[in-house]
Amino acid sequence: MRTSYKVRAYPTQEQAAMLNRTFGCVRLVWNKVLEWRKTRYRSQGLRTSYAQTSRYLTELKRDPDLGFLSEVSCVPLQQGLRHQHAAFVNFFAGRARHPRYKSRQRKQSATFTRSAFRWREGRLYLAKMMDTPLEVVWSWPDVDPASIEPTSVTVSREPCGRWYVSLAVEVPGPEQAPPTGAVVGVDLGIKDFAVTSDGGKIANARRLAKRERNLARYQRRMARKQPGSNNRAKARAKVARAHRKVTASRTDFLHKTSARLVRDHDVIVIEDLNIKGMIRNRRLAKAISDCGWGEFRRQLKYKAARHGRHLIVIDRWYPSSKTCSTCGHLLVELPLSTRAWRCPSCRTLHDRDINAAKNILAAGLAVSACGGDVRHPGPPRAQSPQKQEPQPARAGIPVLQLQGRE
């Protein structure tokens, strides 16, 4: 199994200068090769292979105006071409969007393979900087850095100014987690980040909303600086640091939540949410993006596979909120503002999110037992209306009396 260890790096002034030159050369080669690819495709209708881009890089190095490309290691330049080729493969396969030009304002990175670095006793030596090791801070006390053998190293600099080193390592697969016999359905939301079928609720901390005032203040200060000045660069770094705090807090929360679900349950059932379609609602787009549902699903997927758990994803059109988890009665409609409703058939009072989580679990177990997808069940059989007196709400929860489909 392949994994990576990402650690903080603290380069010296000379090392930072060399790495910045390397980042600039990688960015220049990426942009020139991308422009050449696009021009070649538009004029001749031909796709470009990696070997052709490698030969074009050789021509670029022969240009007297680009002689500085030979001052840095050639390995990061070649790796940049490989990454661009993989990006185009994913684009033509429909798995990703079209590759974009690189900007110096975004994250900068360079990848070194075995021929361009040395890892000796926990010390990292990079090409063109073999005299002095790059200082890194190891963050895993249970792993001896001298015992690992990285296959590649990626050095990156965040817009906030922090340096990182990512070490790709081949490790044996982890042991399967002991079975717990527990199953759970998870309904993701905005008011509560997740509601489980056993009635548990995981609060949504709204990390971006808590720091919006600081972000707005830093962005206003940056807007008042003269473009291209050092003061603007400093203000941009403050904005990037504020965004980094939001991202780090959200990532930490998602990792802890997904790890707890995988550790405590053998089967986890979630919905296939159409996040791209949901964020088109401009009133909820920022709140939905702040939740990180896509990243949460990605973490659940790889952690469940790593520890021998079973993750089931049911169809996005399954009406989990409008279906009674007790008798299966299906409502005609259920407004988003309705947080509790009473089933007109069995008179059961439902919390909207807990009821949805129970239906998600039942649908996932049906998929696991029978196979196939869980889709909209269609119009149910006609049910005779039952005339009963409405019952009062419980615990102060407003109850909406709804009619089922006839």
**pLDDT digit of tens for each residue in the chain (406 aa)?**
888 999 999 999 999 999 999 999 999 999 999 999 999 999 988 889 999 999 999 999 999 999 999 999 999 999 999 999 999 999 999 999 999 999 988 999 999 999 999 999 889 999 999 999 999 999 888 888 988 999 999 999 999 999 999 999 988 877 788 899 999 999 999 989 999 999 999 999 888 888 899 999 999 999 999 998 999 999 999 999 999 999 999 999 999 999 999 999 999 999 999 998 999 988 889 999 999 999 999 999 999 998 999 999 998 888 998 999 989 899 988 888 888 989 998 998 998 999 999 999 999 988 776 655 444 444 444 343 443 444 444 334 444 444 444 3
Domain boundary among the residues 279, 294, 314 is at 314
Q: Assess whether 212 carries a catalytic annotation.
A: no
Is 178 inside any structural domain?
A: no
Is 175 inside any structural domain?
A: no
Domain boundary among the residues 295, 314, 333 is at 314
Residue with tokens 């001298």: 146
d(CA 114, CA 136): 18
Q: Assess whether 264 carries a catalytic annotation.
A: no
Is 57 inside any structural domain?
A: yes
Based on the domain organization, do 40 and 149 belong to the same domain? yes
Based on the domain organization, do 293 and 159 belong to the same domain? no
Is 47 inside any structural domain?
A: yes
Q: Quick one: pLDDT at residue 393? A: 42
Based on the domain organization, do 332 and 293 belong to the same domain? no
d(CA 150, CA 4): 9
Based on the domain organization, do 101 and 134 belong to the same domain? yes
Based on the domain organization, do 61 and 204 belong to the same domain? no
Q: Quick one: pLDDT at residue 404? A: 47
Q: Which of 158, 187, 266, 290 is catalytic?
A: 187
Do 283 and 296 contact (CB within 8 A), yes or no?
Answer: no
The domain in which residue 116 lies consists of: 2-170
Is 176 inside any structural domain?
A: no
Do 187 and 194 contact (CB within 8 A), yes or no?
Answer: yes
Do 292 and 250 contact (CB within 8 A), yes or no?
Answer: yes
Is 66 inside any structural domain?
A: yes
Is 177 inside any structural domain?
A: no
Q: Quick one: pLDDT at residue 372? A: 52
Domain count, the chain: 3
Axis-axis angle for helices 13-44, 74-92 (nearest 10) = 40
d(CA 323, CA 332): 10
Supply 177's token pair: 């987690």
Alpha helices, H only, 145-229: 207-210, 212-223
Based on the domain organization, do 229 and 291 belong to the same domain? yes
Q: Quick one: pLDDT at residue 398? A: 43
Q: Assess whether 353 carries a catalytic annotation.
A: yes
Based on the domain organization, do 381 and 303 belong to the same domain? no
Based on the domain organization, do 145 and 232 belong to the same domain? no
Based on the domain organization, do 79 and 147 belong to the same domain? yes
The model carries a pTM of 0.81
Domain boundary among the residues 296, 314, 332 is at 314
Is 196 inside any structural domain?
A: yes
Based on the domain organization, do 160 and 141 belong to the same domain? yes
Based on the domain organization, do 155 and 7 belong to the same domain? yes
Based on the domain organization, do 16 and 163 belong to the same domain? yes
Q: Quick one: pLDDT at residue 173? A: 77
What number of H helices and E strands is found in the chain? 10, 16
Q: Quick one: pLDDT at residue 338? A: 87
Do 333 and 322 contact (CB within 8 A), yes or no?
Answer: yes
Q: Which of 158, 266, 271, 290 is catalytic?
A: 271
